[in-house]
Amino acid sequence: MIRTFQTHRVRRQEELTDKLWDFTPLQGESAGKTFSVFTPSCWESYPGFGLYRGRGRYATRFEAEGNLRIVCKGVSHTAEVYFDGEKIAAHYNAYTAFSALVRGAAAGEHTLEIVADNRFSPESALHVPNDYMSYGGISRPVALERVETCYIRYVHVAPFRRGGTWRAAVEVCVDNLCEGGPVSLSVCIAGKELAFPESVLPAGERRFAGEMTFEGVRAWSPAEPALYTAEAVLSRGGVPFDDLIDRFGFREVRTEGKQILLNGAPLRIRGVCRHEDHPQFGCALSLSAMAADLALLRDLGANSVRTAHYPNDERFLDLCDETGVLVWEENHARGLSLEQMQNPRFEEQAEQVTREMAQQHFNHPSVYIWGILNECASDSEYGKACYEKQFSILRALDRTRPRSFASCKFKTDRCFGLPEVVSYNIYPQWYHDTPAGEYLADLYGWVQAATEGAGKPFLVTEIGAGGLYGYRSPYAAKWSEERQAKILEEQLSAVLRFPDCAGVYVWQLCDIRVSEEWWGGRPRTMNNKGIVDEYRRPKLCYEVGKRLFGADRARTERT
């Protein structure tokens, strides 16, 4: 399934994944042999490929003719796409979608090949050996669309309230392959029509913008996640020939003093960080596995998820929109050092994923904040220039959401003047011994006294500790479930009690695989700080989180 709702009534779209493709590894012992694998998937799920780093060619065949648009929602991590042997696209980074166009394909059977590459090299600045796994394969759906010479690329709806009335800025982007006869565009948003005058479009990209007022619509909120559709239709002579349906919610996010406000009311974030990871399926989780993760998160009493450390599968965001779970979505980067940020490919690759994330996920009401560059070199002037540039890219694409980054630079961070929200990853009692309350007070005091982050909303974006599922210890030894529960109890109580903190994200939902090339020191080559293990079996600390989140909810909703 490509999305959780219908995105076209006019344009013909079919999913090419959700079935078996031919898979041919191009390196290693099995190089050149062909296997049948189900897509979307990661090749690590298949016997013999658990540790495969290399290139792999996927192939499928289908009947089609005319102008074809191949949409890949995610290929991990570098992709080349071939149509009948001819290269039609290349894309870097596993976590955003891209598309390729084939003009005037002859009627008959065609071959689509996607070569995925999950190797690390100097060419890859974001997928580097790291504290999570860079898998290989067609990890998200692929769709085939039949388009005319003119088609809708996106419709963006940015709701805002003026004088108690909901309004929305609307932008529709149309791709026009060649100048043709006059076409007309209309958009139906929450049942209301906005029509643009008929015009002859020059070849290239064309944007249409407008503003609309809405009466009697329901606001989107975690308690009542009301969703509406925006349906853009292109017609010629009154006959529709292309369309795109997207979904959005009427909600407004802004910061005021130390608060993040959703529809004017302060948000209290009780969140969990989540990697897209499963021992059997790698980063290619099925929709039902995603929904199960969300159910777990809600059972815990969390109201928010942080998509550490990359843009997530759109279908996960669809589910968050539907269930009212708030999302901190972040671009792709984790812990890049100054040297890694100075990789000549870094700027272009990081900026591309930032643009793709903001453009592709613009309409999701659940995404209340954009994060960038988790734990990168925000303590250096070079790093600061990168943060500044990426924040300005986000601002140019989206004026409606606050921005932040999760810092681990403690009292050396130089970037808090840039975003609207100050955020820190802290691990008291795990990576250092200072008690959580004392540590937080000291850090917060420094931000107020010595940085341009003073007076801004403050979030703790990671706390946590390692615990091996099933390792029980009467004296709460390091790595035991008891120790993890004890540390989480102390950290979480201290953060939730801290008056100036707008919320917290626990690191992390489930244990995850880390890349072996990164650091063999993690037991099981996994990051074991999950509050459930990789199979989603709760550890002792799950009950701690549930109790403390529950108490916090009762306390903050009363006040």
Contacting positions for ligand ADA (CB under 6 A): 131, 308-309, 334-335, 374-375, 408, 425, 462, 507, 527, 529
Closest approach, Cβ 432 to ligand ADA, in A, equals 12
Give the span between the Cα atoms of 112 and 173, in whole angstroms.
27
Closest approach, Cβ 430 to ligand ADA, in A, equals 8
Q: Please give the angle made by the CA atoms of 285, 306 and 256, to the nearest 5 degrees.
A: 150
Which is closer to ligand ADA, CB of 98 or CB of 427?
427
Instruction: Write the burial class of residue 186 (CB in 10 Å: 0-12 exposed, 13-18 middle, 19+ buried).
Output: middle
Q: Do residues 153 and 71 touch, judged by C-beta distance below 8 A?
A: no
Q: Please give the angle made by the CA atoms of 131, 134 and 137, to the nearest 5 degrees.
A: 160
Closest approach, Cβ 375 to ligand ADA, in A, equals 5
Closest approach, Cβ 133 to ligand ADA, in A, equals 12
Give how far Cα 462 sits from Cα of 407, 424, 506, Å.
10, 7, 5
> Which residue's Cβ lies closest to ligand ADA?
131
Spatial neighbors of 60 by CB under 8 A, at least 6 apart, are: 16, 19, 21, 22, 111, 112
User: What DSSP letter does each residue of 307-333 carry, written as one string?
Assistant: -TTSPPPHHHHHHHHHHT-EEEEE-S-
Which is closer to ligand ADA, CB of 349 or CB of 374?
374
Element (H, E) at 68: strand 66-72
The owner of tokens 């840039």 is: 418
Closest approach, Cβ 131 to ligand ADA, in A, equals 4
Which is closer to ligand ADA, CB of 166 or CB of 405?
405
The owner of tokens 């590459």 is: 117
Which is closer to ligand ADA, CB of 143 or CB of 421?
421
The separation between the first and the last C-alpha atoms of the chain, rounded to the nearest angstrom, is: 42
Spatial neighbors of 103 by CB under 8 A, at least 6 apart, are: 67, 177
Which is closer to ligand ADA, CB of 149 or CB of 425?
425
Closest approach, Cβ 71 to ligand ADA, in A, equals 30
Closest approach, Cβ 93 to ligand ADA, in A, equals 17
Which is closer to ligand ADA, CB of 362 or CB of 507?
507
Closest approach, Cβ 527 to ligand ADA, in A, equals 5
Closest approach, Cβ 374 to ligand ADA, in A, equals 5
Q: Is the dihedral of CA 415, 419, 421, 423 positive or negative?
A: negative
In the chain, the largest separation of any two C-alpha atoms, in whole Å, equals 78
HEC-encoded secondary structure of 216-249? CCCEECCCCECCEEEEEEEEECCEEEEEEEEEEC
Instruction: Quote the distance between the C-alpha of residue 194 and its chain's center.
Output: 30
Which is closer to ligand ADA, CB of 139 or CB of 374?
374
Q: Do residues 146 and 12 touch, judged by C-beta distance below 8 A?
A: yes
Which is closer to ligand ADA, CB of 77 or CB of 529?
529
Which is closer to ligand ADA, CB of 252 or CB of 375?
375
Closest approach, Cβ 277 to ligand ADA, in A, equals 12
Spatial neighbors of 293 by CB under 8 A, at least 6 apart, are: 274, 285, 509, 510, 536
Closest approach, Cβ 267 to ligand ADA, in A, equals 22
Spatial neighbors of 381 by CB under 8 A, at least 6 apart, are: 414
Which is closer to ligand ADA, CB of 275 or CB of 361?
275
Which is closer to ligand ADA, CB of 363 or CB of 527?
527
Amino acid at 245: I
